[in-house]
Amino acid sequence: MRAIIVDDEAPARRRLRGVLQQIDSVTRIDECANGRDAVELLRRGAPDLVFLDIQMPDLDGFAVAAAASHERPPAIIFVTAFDEHAVRAFEIQAFDYLLKPFDDERIVATVKRAADFLDWIRREGVPGSADPVLSGFGDVTVDFARHQVRRAGKMAELRPKEYALLVALLKRGGRVASRLELLREVWGYAEDVMSRTVDTHVAMLRRKLEHDPAHPRHIVTVRTFGYRIER
């Protein structure tokens, strides 16, 4: 995979490069010290991973993310010292949001999940553009054509909204979906609606699809933000 590191602080770029160089699947690493150079680099060729700082002197990280290819989208991972931008980051489909100083293990785990996400994109197309026939996680298989869900070969009976929620999470290929995103996408709620509906339906999905609903391995919570599928 090809990675781009975008950060106006040289020590931060060196620190992240050092971690990425230890990951065998990352074969090329480019660096940009500002947003404008990053946009130009993105236009010349689509990378697989983009590690983005948010607050930079010229273009911020969100402007850089907006310039990424929609036909071959990279996994965009924000790496920042500020936690207040996380909700906005996930609303624009960021793959992950890491706070400085980060743990090496978290970077390695994120890159592994990103590789799975990119493999999903290449096999099935951009999420939301067309339904693949089969998907799933663990011993769960989802047949999108038949709207059927099986666990260990046996049919799992999901209510319509439970199924729609599961599909919305699967199509993100491991990316986080915020509660607000899911409320709009699955239930059609307006932005100002506050609801525990998502949490309630996630709990029902876990009871039906997880081996240990109290300690889920696949339908996981990203604290304060939302949910994602861990394959």
Residue 116 lies in a domain: yes
Q: Indicate the residue among 91, 124, 157 that finishes a domain.
A: 124
| 104 and 187 both lie in a single domain | no
| 37 and 80 both lie in a single domain | yes
| 113 and 149 both lie in a single domain | no
Per-residue pLDDT 10s for the chain (231 aa) are 999 999 999 999 999 999 999 999 999 999 999 999 999 999 888 899 999 999 998 899 999 999 988 777 788 999 999 888 887 887 776 888 888 988 898 899 889 888 877 776 666 554 444 445 567 888 998 887 677 899 998 999 888 788 889 988 988 888 888 888 888 878 776 555 556 889 999 999 999 999 999 999 999 999 878 999 987
| 13 and 90 both lie in a single domain | yes
Q: What is the CA radius of gyration of the chain?
A: 18
Q: Indicate the residue among 124, 154, 179 that finishes a domain.
A: 124
Token pair 């699947």 is found at: 25
The contacts of residue 179 (CB under 8 Å, 6+ apart) are 198, 199, 225, 226, 227
Residue 166 lies in a domain: yes
Residue 129 lies in a domain: no
Q: Which residue, among 176, 186, 191, 187, has the nearest Cα to 223 in the 3D structure?
A: 176
Enclosing domain of residue 99:
2-124
- The CATH number assigned to the domain holding 145 equals 1.10.10.10
SS3 call for 213:
coil
Q: Which two tokens stand for residue 168?
A: 């919305």
Q: What's the pTM value of the predicted model, to 2 decimals?
A: 0.63
